[in-house]
Amino acid sequence: MKSFWKKGEPFIWLTGAALSVTLLMAAVLIVVVLVNGLGVFWPSRVATATLHDGGSVMGEIMRREPVYEGQGERLQFKVGNRELYGLDFRWVDESDISSIEYLDDAVVLERMEYGNFYGCIVGLSPEALAVTTGEEPMRQLRQAHEYVLQQKEHLEALDEKVAAVSYRMERLQRKEKSLLYKGRKATDADIVALRQQQDGEQQEFHRLLLRQSEMAAKVHAYRATFADASGSERSMPLMDLVRFYQPNSMSVFNKVHYYLIKLVELFCDSPRESNTEGGLFPAIFGTVMLIFIMSLFSFPLGVLAAVYLREYAREGLIVRLVRIAVNNLAGIPSIVYGIFGLAFFVYGIGGSIDRMFFPEQLPTPTFGTGGILWASLTLSLLTVPVVIVATEEALGAIPAGVREGSLALGATKFQTLTRILLPMASPGIMTGLILAMARAAGEVAPLMITGVVKIAPALPVDGTFPFVHLDRKFMHLGFHIYDIGFQSPNVEAAKPMVFVTTLLLVLIVLVMSSVAIYLRNKMKKRYTYGTF
């Protein structure tokens, strides 16, 4: 027994158990996210329950659990039809249900507003019937909807023209303000010319708006009428329908096709319904761009600081204090960095830029408000201690003989650093960058006060000069999870999107980390000894 304790057998079991528990927790986390995230877009069957009191309920059965009092179970139906019922979900005791059917003609409508509608088709408006052939209702609905989608594309093209004219008018107004700010008089020829151009753009703007409203009124006349489980009819414009399907009569192939369409929408489209439906492209783009800009500042700053501390700074009290400060910086709550970013970057630097380069726009801020540049700089400050510590550790792990041998062969200290030490330390430096990216991807608190928004009207990169707009606000997957999970007025309906967004955020971190790990391994094979 004495030998058992002396050899350290219990410690081996203890460390093995700790590793197992850690791996198990990580696996459970991944499995929970996968199970709840992957099945969101699979089309479930629509049940129609007839109740003993003569009523009926139509919707997807989401959950089943024991009743609070008595015996039996209760079922949670996703009934949709928010404008009729005022809620998306309804609990029904199984004892109150006389029968459950799965009707082939039950239709699920995905709408731009008010969530899903569950019911059956009643008919089309005369305008919609005029663009269809045949007598089968669903076929007529598909034909009319395809026609309306074509008209909707024309409306969206008009929207883009209206936005372009609005942008030109804004630029002309800025030029006029700039000239007036510089002391030019209102009768100056340049200002008169600018106002004439604004008048021309204003006329074009009103002409496009009139044409847009006429076309919208015409498209809204294409309508369809549906009835819910109780027979209440609801007429709605086909333009408000995103898609529709009959899940009870869909084959497995059709369901797979629908699932793939939803995945494409998730990656490529913008959100709708207060972010609880639609795609996540703006949030994905904002997250990746934020991490990319953060890395551009954090990586070189952290590596240079670590090189100075390890290779050039003379060991002493000040250097020790600096190391202690750097290590402590990594433990400061992230919201503190957010407050600092708001005060220093947004109000300090951004406000100074506005006063120097955009004084005619004040008090409306240009850079003196939250934006992706200030959020990235704040995250850079938050993650730079991680890069410094990792780089210092990597440089410190290189044997002193390597430095001495290089210097003995006639190389300068700079040549030794750039050609020997940094390549050998590159795997450790990349590890620091990976940790910094992972932390930046998951941080939300500092972003909430430095530039992230619930819905961004435009991306930080577009086709408008100067193409990259670092002053714009942006969307972020982490904030998206917080917003729809805790701020949404309908948390229960938003729950599936919470898991989908979480899964997406994990995937982005894994993909970016995998690329960095691949580069690290390539460098490890090329530059280092077996020590690294």
What is the tens place of the pLDDT at every residue in 188-235?
888 888 888 889 989 999 999 999 899 888 888 899 999 988 888 888
Placement of tokens 């008089």 in the chain: 185
Q: CA torsion angle for 447, 451, 455, 461 (degrees, to 10)? A: -110
**Which of 464, 367, 456 minimizes the C-alpha distance to 163?**
464
Q: What is the predicted pLDDT for the residue at 499?
A: 87
**Residue 24's pLDDT band (cuts 50, 70, 90):** very high
pLDDT of 469 > 60? The answer is yes
Q: What is the predicted pLDDT for the residue at 460?
A: 85
**Which of 291, 285, 288, 305 minimizes the C-alpha distance to 435?**
291
- Residues with Cβ < 8 Å from 122, sequence gap 6 or more? 224, 225, 226, 227, 233
Q: What is the DSSP letter of 44?
A: P
Give bridge partners of residue 108 from the DSSP assignment: 118, 245
Helix-strand-coil percent breakdown of the chain, rounded to 5? 65, 15, 25
Q: What is the predicted pLDDT for the residue at 314?
A: 85
* Alpha carbons 34 and 402: distance in angstroms, whole number: 48
Q: What percent of the chain stands above pLDDT 70?
A: 98
Average pLDDT (361-388) is 88
Average pLDDT (495-513) is 84
Burial 404-414 (b: 16+ CB within 10 A, else e): eebeeeebeee
Three-state DSSP state, 246 = coil
**Which of 35, 475, 492 minimizes the C-alpha distance to 271?**
475
Among 210-214, 321-325, 363-367, 415-419, the least confident range: 363-367
Q: What is the predicted pLDDT for the residue at 532?
A: 40
Q: What is the predicted pLDDT for the residue at 174?
A: 84
Average pLDDT (481-498) is 80
Pick the residue with more confidence: 425 or 186?
425
**What does each C-alpha distance from 486 to 254, 274, 338, 524 come to in angstroms?**
34, 13, 20, 44
Q: What percent of the chain stands above pLDDT 90?
A: 20
Average pLDDT (117-125) is 89
Phi and psi at 361, nearest 5°, equal -85, -15
pLDDT of 154 > 70? The answer is yes
Mean pLDDT of the chain: 86
What is the tens place of the pLDDT at every residue in 406-419?
999 988 889 999 88
**Residue 378's pLDDT band (cuts 50, 70, 90):** very high
Q: What is the predicted pLDDT for the residue at 2?
A: 67
pLDDT of 271 > 90? The answer is no
Q: What is the predicted pLDDT for the residue at 454?
A: 86
Report pTM.
0.84
